[in-house]
A = this chain, B = another copy of it.
């Protein structure tokens, strides 16, 4: 017998749950792209996109996914032979480095493993060592979707400044924008990349690159630009089609408009606070479950280093896989698989999973997911500490 028949909850770290309002906004006839509602709504939409990232700089949009905006950022920032310093705290930092490398950019990567945050002193030291000034930009994830490590971006800026190095700071906010606090201008970020399908609550298909005036100036002669990736004509577009370097993603735009309106209606700081509280509820449950059960545990030790959008955790192979399958088939909750950090002892990732709490997510959804996970542990005889659900409910009670 299954108790899964009802509204399923997709708790993977992207695509996230699409709000009914967003899906409804996308369900419409194809619009005129030359005049009328769609072109007319773009200026306000672009203003809202900049507010979301906390910048008064520029934004270029792409029909593309996260990998597309990595490549877009790379193509605009670098010329062939320029050097990127990549700080990896999980799978996605390493992937961005790969993207740069394959484009002909020289890459220096510091890989901090899968559970350890960036060592800021080492960043400063590395930049200081670059006396030739070959490093054009530092590439960093705010949240690595695989490890769920969150990086202190303001601290990273300070570490770069401490070295007196002119490198641009480029931040991947794909998994964090609209979830974790982010202030592009205030934190001194030069380039930010994000995509539609996580905190922006819109189906996969659009990516965005925000860039500062400093980045615009510093990259004027970059030679990796192609017509599709070139951010200037998109950011400075006079016509609707130029925003997209061709036909725009008509239906996605109506979805994004609705999603940004929802964020504005709630208030961006309230959105961050909601994610923060739900993340802490998840952590509280894990703290209780792991008490006396070392096989269970959060991937990131220090709360300050943890994402508010997604939580990676260990369950002891093969328990993570068994638990995920039970939750999906018996109770209607799909959790995220482990990604990118398999160990020799668990090559197929049966001891690792991820719980998303990203975007359109409320106390009911998150507490329900935790309750289903506890039911799974009971059903599957996975040893775990007691009191996890009450602890999570208490966090919610105090935070709401």
Residue positions of A touching B, CB distance < 8 A: 1-10, 12, 14-20, 23-24, 26-34, 63-68, 71, 75, 98-99, 102-103, 195, 197, 203-205, 226-228, 244-252, 262, 266, 270-271, 273-274, 277-278, 326, 330-334, 337, 360-365, 367-372, 374-379, 386-387, 389-390, 392-394, 396-400
Contact = CB atoms under 8 A, between A and B. Distances in A.
B227 A99 contact: yes
A112 to B, nearest CB: 23
B367 A363 contact: no
A393 to B, nearest CB: 4
A18 to B, nearest CB: 5
Contacts of A203: 30, 249-252
A312 to B, nearest CB: 15
A271 to B, nearest CB: 8
A98 B3 CA distance: 38
A98 B16 CA distance: 38
Contacts of A326: 400
A248 B204 CA distance: 7
B330 A2 contact: no
Query: Most chain-B Cβ atoms within 10 A of its Cβ — which of A23, A273, A400?
Result: A400
Query: Most chain-B Cβ atoms within 10 A of its Cβ — which of A262, A277, A378, A387?
Result: A378
A364 B33 CA distance: 21
A293 to B, nearest CB: 15
14 contacts: A1-B274, A6-B362, A7-B19, A10-B30, A15-B33, A16-B30, A17-B30, A63-B205, A65-B248, A68-B246, A331-B396, A363-B375, A367-B372, A374-B393
Contacts of A17: 6-7, 29-30
B250 A332 contact: no
A275 to B, nearest CB: 10
Contacts of A204: 63, 247-251
Query: Most chain-B Cβ atoms within 10 A of its Cβ — which of A28, A246, A390?
Result: A246
A17 B30 CA distance: 6
A257 B374 CA distance: 36
A178 to B, nearest CB: 12
Contacts of A331: 362-364, 367, 396, 400
Contact of A392 (B18, B245, B371): B371
A203 B26 CA distance: 10
Contacts of A248: 65, 204
A65 B248 CA distance: 8
Contact of A6 (B227, B365, B372): B365
Contacts of A368: 364-365, 367-369, 371
Q: Which are the 9 A-B pairs with shortest beta-carbon distances? A: A368-B368, A6-B362, A67-B246, A367-B371, A378-B397, A331-B363, A389-B389, A332-B362, A3-B363
A3 B374 contact: no
A364 B374 contact: no
Given A33-B12, A374-B390, A397-B375, A247 B7 contact: no
B195 A247 contact: yes
